Amino acid sequence: MSPSHAVPKTPISVLIVTRDNMTGELLKNAFARGRKDFAVQTLTGSSQKVIGQLRAHKPQVALITEELQDGQEAGAKVLQKLRDFQDTSAIMLLHDSKPECVVNAFRDGARGIFYRNHSLKALSKCIQTVHRGQIWASNEDLEHVMNALGHTKPLRLHNADGKPLFTRREEDVVRLVVDGLKNREIAQRLRVKEHSIRNYLHRIFEKLGVSTRVELILYAFSQRDSNS
């Protein structure tokens, strides 16, 4: 197909959830300038008001501020409700990287964490990444999650029937990834070749339906949290 007959790219539908109209409109207008990759709408008010209007929008990506009209952490209520929308990926917009806020956001269902002091260009990349089904998290965010892992119960790697999800060696690999070890370090610890670790990770990712180490660690975190 020639470039002149290429199929137009469908914009990603984005819903911006904020406390006030000004913040929402500023973000919406910023996206509108020279960016055709996004179709942006806004919702403002209390968490209850926003939740009541979510089904009318059904966005592919929702960007939610932590503060809404009913409180400093009211955005978490919207984030939790969005779990019911399988076709919507959520990004939490935070003021700064506080460990508790980051961990709670991922626990409540966020697929990405973004900060107000980062650029609009970076936000565009964040939205596109999350829309593709990947996780958006900085090294600092990941550090907070890993620190939280150390204060939870041991990871249970079983399916709904109680049967092991992984082989014993795969379980070893998962736990070492969660501990922050790289492939070479895991290979040394388990006394196998590094390419074997890559093969194990490939099978683990396939079983979980994830594609990155960050997603694997967040999965492990969610399992520990649900068993606590």
Q: What fold does the segment set 152-226 form as a domain?
A: Arc Repressor Mutant, subunit A (1.10.10)
- How far is C-alpha 148 from the geometric centre of its chain's CA atoms? 16
The answer to whether 114 and 102 are in contact (CB under 8 A) is no
Q: What is the pLDDT of residue 2?
A: 45
At 90, the pLDDT band (50, 70, 90 cuts) reads very high
| Longest CA–CA separation in the chain, Å | 58
pLDDT digit string, tens, across residues 12-24: 999 999 999 998 8
CA distance 184 to 112: 28
- 3 state SS of 12: strand
The DSSP bridge partners found for residue 94 are 115
Closest CA to 13 of 76, 74, 85, 83: 85
Residue 85 in tokens: 């929308």
All CATH 3.40.50.2300 domain ranges in the chain, comma separated: 3-138
At 184, the pLDDT band (50, 70, 90 cuts) reads confident
* SS3 per residue for 54-114: HHHHCCCEEEEECCECCECCCHHHHHHHHHHCCCCEEEEEECCCCHHHHHHHHHCCCCEEE
Q: What is the pLDDT of residue 100?
A: 87
Judge whether residue 108 has pLDDT over 50: yes
Q: How far is CA 42 from CA 5, 14, 89, 150, 206, in A?
A: 33, 8, 16, 38, 36
All CATH 1.10.10.10 domain ranges in the chain, comma separated: 152-226
Closest CA to 57 of 91, 25, 85: 85
Judge whether residue 7 has pLDDT over 50: no
Domain 3-138 has CATH 3.30.930.10: no
Q: What is the pLDDT of residue 163?
A: 76
Q: What is the pLDDT of residue 160?
A: 62
Mean pLDDT lowest among 23-37, 76-90, 107-121, 197-211:
23-37
At 47, the pLDDT band (50, 70, 90 cuts) reads very high
At 1, the pLDDT band (50, 70, 90 cuts) reads very low
Alpha-carbon torsion angle 118, 140, 97, 41, nearest 10: 50
pLDDT digit string, tens, across residues 48-61: 999 999 989 889 99
Average pLDDT estimate for 183-196: 92
Mean pLDDT lowest among 4-13, 74-83, 106-115:
4-13
At 43, the pLDDT band (50, 70, 90 cuts) reads very high
Identity of the residue numbered 174: V
CA distance 168 to 29: 52
Judge whether residue 155 has pLDDT over 60: no
Q: What is the pLDDT of residue 27?
A: 85
CA distance 209 to 193: 25
The answer to whether 175 and 186 are in contact (CB under 8 A) is no
At 211, the pLDDT band (50, 70, 90 cuts) reads confident
Judge whether residue 4 has pLDDT over 70: no
Q: What is the pLDDT of residue 53?
A: 92
